[in-house]
Chains A and B, each alone.
Chain A
């Protein structure tokens, strides 16, 4: 395994390709299920750096979920060691171990008989926190996952949608502020639109929390989007490649990885760039609380063909054309509704999709509260694809210079 990672040429491309301080270390971790000839996980050795999301991805039956569930010993390993933050936890009391590790599963598994607030309070209660501290923490977390505590704390799981339930699942896993999170296809059973939103929100959360996360998915696109590092697993949890998403896309270690990543690597790389990393352009804006004649004057004196109408809180409402402001109808009813919103942490791929759906060729960048920040258009995306290609070309040149005989195939 370590041979494969060191075989990859050292490059400056990508985020954090140097392995930092290790938080979770798996040593020769093996699981044999009774009655099966081949081990489900065969001597998996892997280091998960502190504060990173490491995604285990691979075809079904490759042992990725079994590998994950051995970390909190929901599945007891047959042999090998699990080291968390320098401590060998292979043989300690599993219940105490699990209270230090957040756990999120695809089927969520909220406790149906107790309220949302009590669900989130589970681990703090197990750890013996006092009531006040627990209830403050519950409210704080519900707020963090976008479920106002006043509205949701007293509800029951069945009264929530799938997406809301998984938000609670994430809040519950974070309740006692564990340094490590295990996530088993956490967004797998959620409809695509909500999934994208949850992924983006989770990434924003992670940028604040800096947890060490092991994340399982079968979806390479999700792996590329969520992972600081990806472990592509073959049967028996054999690591085919362990690298940053950029390295995997630009330099797959072998044919298996290449096949698994599939075609359309450029499109996939759009998932690696966030909207905030691209220069957003400005639009001509006007607010509903401004004087209509002033708006019209500003519009006519500008060179713009459209004006984005915002509400007093700067939330985008409508696209107006020049002639619209001459009509006497209320401002809120003029022009066309403004669609295609993206948040700064959305990927360029999300933005492109929104543009295509909105059929305006632009996406409106809004902050978390929905207030206008700027515009992103197709040209902006093309520019960033061009930039990626330039970086690649640089990389080939550097690799060739370093090893003129070597073959670099991408």
Chain B
């Protein structure tokens, strides 16, 4: 097959792919980082306040049901084309796993642990930072990981609204079907996205090792 002998052998292809891959990384990382901050806040709020819990969870769930292409398109008139609509849309998608796991992580902390923290005179803020979040962290981190993998995949659509990333190579391929080399482009973009996903997964494995306290590791 010409994939290795011609497509990947061409240095121009290789450097273009590398550049797109790097774009793809930041197209994933920025929305995930923003979603972590926002999601943590919403998650803690939903855990604390029974009145806000169900509105918050319904809104973030509904966001995920909007087809990605439609969401990108809706954002174009507001923020224009390019990376802008992509980053906003991807942030919204990444929220659900993070918010949901933050809430269930906080609920999974043993009541006796919280009661004893309270009984020793820890304030609500101290309990949150010193007891609840550290113990909820494994579940929260799992949510962030799912959000990241989700974002790596959906980020490919960004190319359709003029956005950066490996989606460009995929859509180049799709547009040129059935011309020679179209299948190679399609495959090249897709395989690299999968590789990125695997690398992100390994990164989370490492983060988990470093940040989950030994006392609560499986």
Residue A122 CB within 8 A of the other chain: yes
Contacts from B to A (Cβ < 8 Å) = 110-123, 126, 131, 134-135, 213-216
Report the nearest A residue to B213, measured CB to CB.
A113
Q: A107-B111, A109-B110, A123-B120 are in contact. List 19 more A-B contacts (CB 8 A).
A: A95-B122, A99-B121, A103-B116, A105-B119, A108-B112, A109-B115, A109-B116, A111-B116, A111-B117, A111-B135, A112-B135, A112-B215, A113-B135, A113-B213, A113-B216, A123-B121, A156-B215, A157-B215, A169-B116
Residue A96 CB within 8 A of the other chain: yes
How far, in whole Å, are A158 and B110 apart by their CA atoms in the complex? 13
Q: Are A110 and B121 in contact (CB under 8 A)?
A: no
How far in angstroms is the closest Cβ of chain A from B116?
Answer: 3
Q: Are A95 and B134 in contact (CB under 8 A)?
A: no
Q: Are B213 and A114 in contact (CB under 8 A)?
A: yes
Residue A349 CB within 8 A of the other chain: no
Residue A126 CB within 8 A of the other chain: yes
Interface string of A120-143 (1 = CB under 8 A from B): 001100100000000000000000
Contact with B119, one of A74, A110, A114, A158 (Cβ below 8 angstroms): A74
Q: List 28 A-B contacts (CB under 8 A).
A: A74-B118, A95-B121, A95-B122, A95-B123, A98-B118, A101-B119, A103-B116, A105-B112, A105-B116, A109-B114, A109-B115, A110-B116, A111-B116, A111-B117, A111-B131, A112-B113, A113-B131, A113-B135, A113-B215, A114-B215, A122-B117, A122-B120, A122-B122, A123-B120, A126-B120, A126-B121, A126-B126, A158-B216
How far, in whole Å, are A199 and B214 apart by their CA atoms in the complex? 31
Report the nearest A residue to B119, measured CB to CB.
A103
* A346-400 interface (Cβ within 8 A of B): none
Contacts from A to B (Cβ < 8 Å) = 72, 74, 94-99, 101, 103, 105, 107-115, 122-123, 126, 156-158, 169, 172, 182
Q: Are B116 and A112 in contact (CB under 8 A)?
A: no
Report the nearest B residue to A72, measured CB to CB.
B119
How far in angstroms is the closest Cβ of chain A from B50?
Answer: 14
Q: Are A97 and B119 in contact (CB under 8 A)?
A: no
How far, in whole Å, are A234 and B76 apart by their CA atoms in the complex? 70
How far in angstroms is the closest Cβ of chain B from A189?
Answer: 10
Given the known inter-chain contacts A113-B135, A113-B213, A157-B215, please indicate yes or no for A74 contacting B115, CB distance below 8 A. Answer: yes
Those 8 A-B pairs whose CB atoms lie nearest each other, nearest first:
A109-B116, A156-B215, A103-B119, A107-B112, A109-B112, A99-B121, A98-B121, A113-B213
How far, in whole Å, are A99 and B118 apart by their CA atoms in the complex? 10
Q: Are A112 and B119 in contact (CB under 8 A)?
A: no
How far, in whole Å, are A96 and B111 apart by their CA atoms in the complex? 21
Report the nearest B residue to A99, measured CB to CB.
B121
How far, in whole Å, are A111 and B117 apart by their CA atoms in the complex? 8
How far, in whole Å, are A158 and B123 apart by their CA atoms in the complex? 25
Most chain B CB neighbours (cut-off 10 Å) among A99, A103, A112: A112
How far in angstroms is the closest Cβ of chain B from A137?
Answer: 15
Q: Are B215 and A158 in contact (CB under 8 A)?
A: yes
Kindly list chain B residues whose C-beta atoms are within 8 Å of the C-beta of A96. Answer: 121
Kindly list chain A residues whose C-beta atoms are within 8 Å of the C-beta of B135. Answer: 111-113
How far, in whole Å, are A115 and B216 apart by their CA atoms in the complex? 11
Kindly list chain A residues whose C-beta atoms are within 8 Å of the C-beta of B117. Answer: 109, 111, 122
Kindly list chain B residues whose C-beta atoms are within 8 Å of the C-beta of A123. Answer: 120-121
Most chain B CB neighbours (cut-off 10 Å) among A105, A113, A126, A158: A113
Q: Are A110 and B113 in contact (CB under 8 A)?
A: yes
Kindly list chain B residues whose C-beta atoms are within 8 Å of the C-beta of A108. Answer: 112, 116
How far, in whole Å, are A126 and B117 apart by their CA atoms in the complex? 11
Kindly list chain A residues whose C-beta atoms are within 8 Å of the C-beta of B118. Answer: 74, 98
Q: Are B113 and A109 in contact (CB under 8 A)?
A: yes
Kindly list chain B residues whose C-beta atoms are within 8 Å of the C-beta of A172. Answer: 116, 120
How far, in whole Å, are A114 and B110 apart by their CA atoms in the complex? 14
Kindly list chain A residues whose C-beta atoms are within 8 Å of the C-beta of B112. Answer: 105, 107-109
Kindly list chain A residues whose C-beta atoms are within 8 Å of the C-beta of B110. Answer: 107, 109, 112
Q: Are A111 and B119 in contact (CB under 8 A)?
A: no
Contact with B120, one of A98, A156, A158 (Cβ below 8 angstroms): A98
Kindly list chain A residues whose C-beta atoms are within 8 Å of the C-beta of B113. Answer: 109-112
Q: Are A97 and B121 in contact (CB under 8 A)?
A: yes
Kindly list chain B residues whose C-beta atoms are within 8 Å of the C-beta of A72. Answer: 119
Report the nearest A residue to B214, measured CB to CB.
A156
How far, in whole Å, are A95 and B120 apart by their CA atoms in the complex? 8
Kindly list chain A residues whose C-beta atoms are within 8 Å of the C-beta of B123. Answer: 95
How far, in whole Å, are A107 and B123 apart by their CA atoms in the complex? 21
Kindly list chain A residues whose C-beta atoms are within 8 Å of the C-beta of B116. Answer: 103, 105, 108-111, 169, 172
Kindly list chain B residues whose C-beta atoms are within 8 Å of the C-beta of A110. Answer: 113, 116
How far, in whole Å, are A109 and B109 apart by their CA atoms in the complex? 10
How far in angstroms is the closest Cβ of chain B from A51?
Answer: 22
How far, in whole Å, are A182 and B126 apart by their CA atoms in the complex? 22
Kindly list chain A residues whose C-beta atoms are within 8 Å of the C-beta of B216. Answer: 112-113, 158
Q: Are B215 and A115 in contact (CB under 8 A)?
A: yes
How far, in whole Å, are A336 and B131 apart by their CA atoms in the complex? 52
How far in angstroms is the closest Cβ of chain A from B107?
Answer: 16
Kindly list chain B residues whose C-beta atoms are within 8 Å of the C-beta of A103. Answer: 116, 119-120
